[in-house]
Structure 1
Amino acid sequence: MKTVPRAPSPELQTVKALSRLFPPSPGSAGAGASCRKEVFEVLAPHLPQWISRPKAAPTAVLSALARERRADLAELVLIFMLESGVPVDVYHCNSVITACEKGRNWQRALELIGEMPRMRVTPDEVSYNAAISACEKCGHWQLALGLFGSMPGARLTPQEISCNAAISACDKGGQWQLALALLSSMPALRLAPNRVTYGAAISACSRGSQWQVALDLMNQVSVRTDPISFSATISACEKGGQWHLALGLLHEMPQVRAVPNEISYSAAISACEKAGSWQLALELLSSMPDVRLAPNEISFSAAISACEKGGQWQIALLLLSSMPSLSASPNVISYNAAISACSKGGQWQLALGLLCSMPGLSLEPSEISYGAAISACGQMCGQWQIAIGLLRAMSEIKLSPHEISYNAAISACEKGGQWQLALNLLSLMFEARVAPDETTYTAAISACEKGGQWAVAVSLLGEQSAESLNLLVAVRQQKLEEQHFMT
């Protein structure tokens, strides 16, 4: 007996009609106020039903638009309701705020919270939870905490969802201390932390390189089988240089029925990379298909970087070339690691080849890409022309060379007997407010010595060192002020 397909509900038909009229367009603001006439024409036939059933029908339409991340259309529907005399309640407003949250429109989510009283609607816990989550998704941890802290004043009791979103906001904002403070405050609020709570707190500790605290949190029974918490703790150990603990956690996961994922393996591979154990990194990478995991860009990049640190430029290039066949697209990080591997291996031609091939793959070389290629030229005598050319190319594409790039170019000039160019580059560093370091002066002085410019070398060692010290202090003070302003 054939099953007769059910006709879509009137609410679903309305949503489809609106989506056809205003299809989502990446990078655009969607249906704006200028489109309200067309939206109102679609909704007008449903007005009698919406007035008679103000809760069911409009809520279904708004909820469907929220699932589709169409905050633009959801807000126009809400305006239609207000102007047409359809009673608006907290469920309608929450659906629009949720649409803003899913669409990462945190500003509008906050505005709606403030506008609800004028609609004679009182925000509830769901309203605040959605707004907190909107701020969290966009990295505004201060706003998220502000909303969380204002809930008691609005006679609202924070829920587990509220705490989880606030802790996750602290995680993304690098505020691990605040994340732990929120976690510790939950019992006083009669809230029980769950896997999501601990996962967000552990992730915050990972970003803050607090591997000991992350391990303590992992001892909670409720998260001992959670793959997300395991991955975050492995990452914390990786950042803390505890590669043996990272591998131990990875091997423990199957024993407690926590299924490792790509994030778990990538973090463990990165831990091996930081420990200089390229063999272990490759072993982990090659074992991923055995547990039905496909290595991704992060896994490969970490393994290539491990080979770079281990001086295995041939293997690094082999891994890079094998990525497309394994459905992993090389990214800027992958190429940077491979270029650096060639640089350390003295393969300046290969390093330049990789750098030049990046635009053809729609990859924009970064300061690190150019710095590694310039370093490759600095390793070989006589390649100072290419090093200078790369340094100039950076300025043409509005990339700011850092001290590593300048040092490599000065070193190339030193090896090529170009002491005048070496001094010119040193003066350019001062103009660009890039503080020379010991490596800079060592290469510049060596260039002067090889050119028989002993007086210049002595003068450089004395007078310019004081100027460099003053600039270094000024730059560091500026960075401290910027960090203070951000916090």
Structure 2
Amino acid sequence: MANLKQSLYSQLTRAKERHVVQQLVATLSRKDLVCDCRDRTVLVTALGKCSLWPQALQLVAHPPHLVDVILMGALVTACGRGRAWAQSLECLQWIQDLGLELGLFTLNAAANACVSAHAWAMALHLLDLDNRDDLRPNTVSCNIMLSACDKGGQLQVRHSLLRSMEDAQQAPSLITLNTLIDLCEAAADWALALKLLDAWPI
């Protein structure tokens, strides 16, 4: 039985087609080979990659007590991949109701889901961490906030985000620069775009 479980999980991590992922998840569940949070996280991650977030939600909800922070983070990400931003927010509330730690990875995933669904204001709200001592935005957080500003036309916010990144000594990624240049283009601020490229070579 152990060899069978290992083989099925190995196939699941490599599977890309939706119907294959669904079949493997069904087989693992039917054979009672989903034993702990680690197993469930593998299933939820595979379902999320195929945007099968309803099945991921159902899997985590039964039984609801068998969850941890990593599993819930995978679930938020799965909902985000499917642009189910409302469900991502429900998962955040679920995490808090369970008394689990709400980590930056999970907040980033939920905020990214909001940006993908054009709920840019909610994304900015989620990553407004000024009143929290335990979490600080990282480069991924800043990229998400910049994308939210871009989609929401909030050009003025870019300056405060730039200052925040500089104060935190965060190195920008290529995504950071691309998004900033898009914002500069929208504001017809080509001088700032050139300045950013000169200051932050990638």
Settle same-fold status: TM greater than 0.5: yes
In the alignment, residue 273 of structure 1 is paired with which amino acid? Answer: T
Q: Give per-residue Cα distances to partners, 1:89-113, cap 9 Å, x unaligned.
A: xxxxxxxxxxxxxxxxxxxxxxxxx
By how many angstroms is 1:334 displaced? 2.0
By how many angstroms is 1:293 displaced? 4.1
CA contact (8 A) 2:8 2:28 kept: no
By how many angstroms is 1:322 displaced? 2.6
CA contact (8 A) 1:265 1:288 kept: yes
CA contact (8 A) 2:68 2:100 kept: yes
CA contact (8 A) 1:285 1:295 kept: no
Kindly report which structure 2 residues correspond to 1:136-147, keeping only aligned pairs within 5 A, or say none: none
1:451 matches 2:187: yes
Partners in 1 of 2:182 and 2:121 — Cα distance? 18
In the alignment, residue 110 of structure 2 is paired with which amino acid? Answer: A
By how many angstroms is 1:410 displaced? 0.8
CA contact (8 A) 1:266 1:298 kept: no
Question: 2:78 is matched with which residue?
Answer: 341
SS of aligned partner of 1:393: coil
1:415 matches 2:176: no
By how many angstroms is 1:441 displaced? 0.8
SS of aligned partner of 2:127: helix
Partners in 2 of 1:456 and 1:413 — Cα distance? 16
CA 1:361–1:413 in structure 2 vs 1: closer, same or farther (change >3 Å)?
same
CA 1:339–1:360 in structure 2 vs 1: closer, same or farther (change >3 Å)?
same
Q: Which among 30, 46, 55 is matched to residue 306 of structure 1?
A: 46
Question: 1:157 is matched with which residue?
Answer: none
Partners in 2 of 1:434 and 1:315 — Cα distance? 37
CA 1:323–1:397 in structure 2 vs 1: closer, same or farther (change >3 Å)?
farther
By how many angstroms is 1:453 displaced? 2.2
Question: 2:136 is matched with which residue?
Answer: 400
Higher RCO (Cα < 8 Å, 6 or more apart): 2
Partners in 2 of 1:398 and 1:280 — Cα distance? 40
Question: 1:8 is matched with which residue?
Answer: none
State percent identity of aligned pairs: 29
CA contact (8 A) 2:150 2:179 kept: yes
CA contact (8 A) 1:297 1:331 kept: yes
CA 1:280–1:333 in structure 2 vs 1: closer, same or farther (change >3 Å)?
farther
Kindly report which structure 2 residues correspond to 1:277-292, keeping only aligned pairs within 5 A, or say none: 277=17, 279-288=19-28, 291=31
Question: 1:356 is matched with which residue?
Answer: 93
1:465 matches 2:196: no
CA 1:356–1:294 in structure 2 vs 1: closer, same or farther (change >3 Å)?
closer
CA contact (8 A) 2:15 2:21 kept: no
By how many angstroms is 1:282 displaced? 3.9
Q: Is the helix fraction higher in 1 or 2?
A: 1
Q: What do you get for the CA RMSD once the two structures are aligned?
A: 2.6
Partners in 1 of 2:138 and 2:17 — Cα distance? 28
Instruction: For structure 1, list consecutive stretches of 5 or more residues without a partner in the other structure.
Output: 1-258, 470-487
CA contact (8 A) 2:21 2:46 kept: yes
By how many angstroms is 1:286 displaced? 2.7
CA contact (8 A) 1:391 1:401 kept: yes
Q: Which among 112, 118, 122 is matched to residue 386 of structure 1?
A: 122
Q: Give per-residue Cα distances to partners, 1:62-105, cap 9 Å, x unaligned.
A: xxxxxxxxxxxxxxxxxxxxxxxxxxxxxxxxxxxxxxxxxxxx
Instruction: For structure 2, list consecutive stretches of 5 or more residues without a partner in the other structure.
Output: none
Question: 1:366 is matched with which residue?
Answer: 103
Partners in 2 of 1:303 and 1:353 — Cα distance? 20
CA contact (8 A) 1:313 1:341 kept: yes
TM-score normalised by length of structure 2: 0.84
CA 1:395–1:273 in structure 2 vs 1: closer, same or farther (change >3 Å)?
farther
In the alignment, residue 47 of structure 2 is paired with which amino acid? Answer: C
1:295 matches 2:35: yes
By how many angstroms is 1:370 displaced? 0.6
CA contact (8 A) 1:367 1:399 kept: yes
Q: Give per-residue Cα distances to partners, 1:290-332, cap 9 Å, x unaligned.
A: 54545322222111111111122222222222333xxx61222
- Between Structure 1 and Structure 2, how many residues are aligned? 202
Kindly report which structure 2 residues correspond to 1:211-360, keeping only aligned pairs within 5 A, or say none: 259-260=1-2, 265=5, 268-269=8-9, 272-277=12-17, 279-288=19-28, 291=31, 293-324=33-64, 329-360=66-97
By how many angstroms is 1:384 displaced? 3.3
TM-score normalised by length of structure 1: 0.38
SS of aligned partner of 1:323: coil
